[in-house]
Amino acid sequence: MFDDARRGFADDGDCVTCRGLTQWDEPDRDDHRDSLIGTWTRVTTCEEAVERQMQAGFADHALDNIPGQFLPDIESTEEIADPSHPCVGAVPSAHSHFFTEDGKFGSLDSRGEQVDDGTFEIVDDHTFLIPYAFDDEAIDVEFEYAVTGDSITFEPVLPADCTSDHCREAASWAVSVAYAGLSWQRAG
């Protein structure tokens, strides 16, 4: 589980996107906040989760979200039978993110339990920030997004130089939130 005490992301300026897959449709500036507000859902797979972590350079975090989410009968990465093939026996998992009018952000797992709890701030018509806090600092994670009808894509903006433990943890979290290049659907 993630909570406010675990969010943070260092951005020292020269940022690159996690994956250059998304083309941004520019919504009207008057409705960009409204276009993000709501609950967005998709069915995720273990293979997608691992692939995105690996492509972003976070092999050391690739197994973090598998226990419980994709392998529901295990609770820790140490219980994965074969870490070199972590998705054997994995099941797809419904996952949702929500953004509220009053600036709350959260995620819901396949059981509807809240697994992220924080806030967000709109930067412009295709960018928002989510604070990721550690015990000694709180820094912002930046995401680009594009809404087309009832579909949205998220893309984390990752620092070009992300070597500290805090940066790597927050960046890996951002990758796991976004599923860059894949669409989420508006719920309800």
Domain segments of the chain: what residues? 4-186
Under 8 Å between Cβ of 96 and 41: yes
State the average pLDDT over residues 121-126. 94
Q: Which amino acid is at 110?
A: S
Cα separation, 92 vs 186, in Å, equals 19
Question: Which pLDDT score, from 0 to 100, does residue 5 have?
Answer: 33
What is the SS3 assignment for 171-186?
HHHHHHHHCCCCCEEE
Cα separation, 141 vs 8, in Å, equals 6
Cα separation, 184 vs 175, in Å, equals 14
Question: Which pLDDT score, from 0 to 100, does residue 16 have?
Answer: 40
Question: Which pLDDT score, from 0 to 100, does residue 138 have?
Answer: 82
